[in-house]
Amino acid sequence: MDPDLDLLKKQIELMALHAQSSMDPAQARAFEAATRKMQAEYEGAKRILADKNASADAKKYAKDVTDAINKNLPNMVKGVLSAASAFKSGDYVNGSAAIMDICAAGMQLIGSLSAGAGPYGAIFGALFSIVGQLLTYFGPKQPSLKDQIIEAMKGLNADEKLREVKANGSAVDQYMATIGRIKLDLSEILPTPLNTVENRVKVHKCLDSCIISINNAFTIISVLYDKWMTAEWLKDEKTQDLEKWPEILGVFCRTYADALLAHVLLESLVDHEMVGRQLEQASIRNPDYKNTPHEYDAIYDRLIRLEADMEALPKLWNDGNTQMLECLKAIEPVARDRGLFVHLGTNMSKNLYAATGSTVTRTGEWKPFQIGYGNRGRRFAMTMPKTEAGSLKPRYHLFFCQHWSASDNGDMEHGWMDPTTIEVSGMKEVSGDKFHDVWALPSPDDSHASFVYTARNEGRQGSIKLHQLNDSGELKAGNWQPATKAGVVNVRAITHPTATLPDDPDGAAMLPALLQGTDHYNSIMYGALAASGELYVDQSNTRCYVPAPWGSYTGIDVDPYYVWVFGPMGLACATHASVISCIRGIIKSPRWISHIPEALIGDTHTHPGKTWWDRYTQTRIPYPPLIGIQSLSPCKDGTLFASITTRTVTPAQRGGEVAYIATDTPALYTALYSINIKDGSLNVGPWSKLPGGPQAQQVQKMAIPCWSLFASLKAQLTKTPVMAPPPLRTARQTTL
Query: How large is the average pLDDT for residues 460-483?
Result: 92
Return the minimum-mean-pLDDT range out of 90-94, 192-196, 422-426, 651-655.
90-94
Nearest Cα residue to 272 out of 724, 647, 720: 724
602 secondary structure, DSSP code:
B
CA max distance for the chain: 118
Residue pair 241/414 in contact (Cβ under 8 Å)? The answer is: no
Query: How large is the average pLDDT for residues 620-637?
Result: 96
The pLDDT score that the predictor gives to residue 162 is: 41
DSSP per position, 263-295: HHHHHTSS-HHHHHHHHHHTSTTSTTGGGSHHH
* Domain boundary pick from 119, 142, 165: 142
Question: Is the alpha carbon torsion for 208, 210, 213, 215 positive or negative?
Answer: negative
Please report whether residue 423 resides in a domain.
Answer: no
The pLDDT score that the predictor gives to residue 732 is: 58
CA dihedral 475, 476, 481, 487 (to 10 degrees): 20
161 and 288 share one domain: yes
Top-ranked range on mean pLDDT: pick from 118-132, 300-314, 629-643, 683-697:
629-643
CA distance 633 to 340: 12
Q: Which residue has the higher pLDDT, 295 or 82?
A: 295
The pLDDT score that the predictor gives to residue 141 is: 54
- CATH of residue 133's domain is 1.20.140
312 and 361 share one domain: no
Complete edge-to-edge strand list for the sheet that includes strand 534-539:
488-494, 524-529, 534-539, 542-547
194 and 173 share one domain: yes
Query: How large is the average pLDDT for residues 471-497?
Result: 93
The model's pLDDT over 499-525, given as tens digits with 9 standing for 90+, comes to 899 899 999 999 988 988 665 578 999
CA distance 617 to 719: 61
- On the question of pLDDT at 303 being above 60, the answer is yes
81 and 230 share one domain: no
Q: Give phi and psi for 161, each to the nearest 5.
A: -65, -40
Share of the chain above pLDDT 90, in %: 45
The pLDDT score that the predictor gives to residue 352 is: 94
- On the question of pLDDT at 140 being above 60, the answer is no
pLDDT band at 3, cuts 50/70/90?
A: low
* Domain boundary pick from 100, 125, 142: 142
274 and 355 share one domain: no
- On the question of pLDDT at 131 being above 60, the answer is yes
66 and 182 share one domain: no
Sort 348 into a burial class: Cβ within 10 Å, 0-12 / 13-18 / 19+.
exposed
Question: Is the alpha carbon torsion for 37, 38, 44, 47 positive or negative?
Answer: negative
Query: How large is the average pLDDT for residues 607-615?
Result: 88
HEC assignment per residue over 491-517: EEEECCCCCCCCCCCCHHHCCHHHCCC
CA distance 225 to 217: 11
The pLDDT score that the predictor gives to residue 697 is: 95
The pLDDT score that the predictor gives to residue 494 is: 94
Query: How large is the average pLDDT for residues 385-404?
Result: 88
626 and 675 share one domain: yes
CA 407 and chain centroid, separation: 40
292 and 163 share one domain: yes
- On the question of pLDDT at 81 being above 90, the answer is no
CA distance 383 to 385: 6
- On the question of pLDDT at 156 being above 50, the answer is no
Task: For residue 285, give every residue at least 6 positions away whose Cβ sits within 8 Å of its Cβ, in sequence order, or none.
Answer: 733, 736
Return the minimum-mean-pLDDT range out of 190-204, 251-265, 567-581, 636-650.
251-265
The pLDDT score that the predictor gives to residue 505 is: 96
CA distance 259 to 254: 9
Task: For residue 320, give every residue at least 6 positions away whose Cβ sits within 8 Å of its Cβ, in sequence order, or none.
Answer: 227
Residue pair 467/431 in contact (Cβ under 8 Å)? The answer is: yes
Top-ranked range on mean pLDDT: pick from 104-118, 208-222, 647-661, 693-707:
693-707
Question: What is the rounded average pLDDT for all residues in the chain?
Answer: 84
The pLDDT score that the predictor gives to residue 719 is: 73
Please report whether residue 514 resides in a domain.
Answer: no
User: In the chain, how many domains are there?
Assistant: 3
The pLDDT score that the predictor gives to residue 369 is: 92
* Residue 167: domain span: 143-338+716-736
The pLDDT score that the predictor gives to residue 127 is: 67
The pLDDT score that the predictor gives to residue 120 is: 44
Residue pair 413/427 in contact (Cβ under 8 Å)? The answer is: yes
The pLDDT score that the predictor gives to residue 169 is: 63
Query: How large is the average pLDDT for residues 544-573?
Result: 97
Q: How many helices (H) and strands (E) in the chain?
A: 17, 28
- On the question of pLDDT at 560 being above 90, the answer is yes
Return the minimum-mean-pLDDT range out of 356-360, 369-373, 694-698, 709-713.
369-373
Share of the chain above pLDDT 70, in %: 85
Return the minimum-mean-pLDDT range out of 413-417, 435-439, 516-520.
516-520
311 and 173 share one domain: yes
696 and 729 share one domain: no
Q: Give phi and psi for 425, each to the nearest 5.
A: -145, 160
The pLDDT score that the predictor gives to residue 394 is: 94
CA distance 544 to 711: 36
pTM score of the predicted model: 0.80
Residue pair 595/572 in contact (Cβ under 8 Å)? The answer is: yes
The pLDDT score that the predictor gives to residue 730 is: 58
* Domain boundary pick from 142, 175, 209: 142
250 and 314 share one domain: yes
130 and 149 share one domain: no
- On the question of pLDDT at 725 being above 60, the answer is no
The pLDDT score that the predictor gives to residue 161 is: 45
